[in-house]
Amino acid sequence: MPYSSVLLSKIIKDFDIEVVYDPGDIESRRICVADCTRPGLQLAGYYDHFGPDRIQVIGNMEHAYLDNLDSGARHRSFDELFSKEIPAILITRNHEIHDELLDSAKVYSTPVLRTSAATSDIITEIVAYLRTELAPRISMHGVLVEVNGEGILILGESGVGKSETALEIVKRGHRLIADDQVDIRKVSDTTLVGSAPEVIRHLIEIRGIGILDVKELYGVSSVKSSENIDFVINLERWDDNKTYDRLGLSDETTEILGLKVPSITIPVAPGRNLAIIVEVAAINFRVKKMGYNAAKDLVSRVFPGGQT
């Protein structure tokens, strides 16, 4: 489900923004749109297609325009802007704040913020931040590891061996992102990012041993806070009545938050080294992305010219 809003106070804290005027509700004020607006046209009186639910950012150009107005014109411009019930106004490059701006902010109870950052830089950073914070998200029971640069989400029923596989993968020099519960965010139309809930970050549960802190056992290089989900491996108990893909010609996918992620299903049976299988699957997935498919190459050798 999507997160509907982000606290303005959290944005202020995370970006080290100065609060010039607080109407008293910054701690409860929320931002609901992953965008910012530079209200140049609005200050000149044009409000068609204006988005009042965005943080409004005053940069060099807007500040220079306002400097060229007389006090009365500035007052009218700010009054009209603040009357749209904007969530906050942010002044960049530590510009001096016009008295008329503060007057209007107090009348309409609008927070006034200031930063030393360049306008384009702070807008880019805040928009990227908001897209992540407001992204649709879901929690899934599984394990997320990074293997040779690929984010591998391992799914399967409880007791199938996900955590044990993840631990062996870490011992082989790869990294753990999350065990047991994976928080997944859809940060763009093509990208899913997974992470662990803060309370269980870097922890892994092994039946018969208990809770282990992977970071403490194997060092900081063995863990990572988040990772893109590139590939899904579904572990299931071996079923003698089921026919499994032996060549790897089928293109299987797992749908998460509306995105279809490439995936495979691996049957679990005694004697199978799942960590090595997952590692090889990750390498093979990368090779396929680079344009080579061993199964299709074999078929082309057996059936030259495309004959079947």
Is the pLDDT confidence value at 308 over 60? no
Is the pLDDT confidence value at 244 over 80? no
Residue 17 φ/ψ region, left for φ over 0, alpha for ψ in the -120 to 50 degree band, beta for the rest? beta
Is the pLDDT confidence value at 298 over 90? no
Return the active site residues: 141, 162, 180, 246
Q: Are 228 and 191 in contact (CB under 8 A)?
A: yes
31 token code pair = 């931002």
pLDDT at 247: 67
User: What are the structural domains, with CATH classification, of the chain?
Assistant: 6-133 (3.40.1390.20), 137-299 (3.40.50.300)
Calculate Rg over the CA atoms of the chain.
Answer: 26
Average pLDDT, the chain: 90
Q: Which of 28, 38, 37 lies closest to 6 in space, CA to CA? A: 28
Q: What is the pTM of this model?
A: 0.74
Span 61-104, pLDDT tens digits: 999 999 999 999 999 999 999 999 999 999 999 999 999 999 99
CA-angle at 31, arms to 26 and 37, nearest 5°? 110
pLDDT confidence band for 12 (50 / 70 / 90): very high
Q: Which of 35, 34, 26 lies closest to 7 in space, CA to CA? A: 26
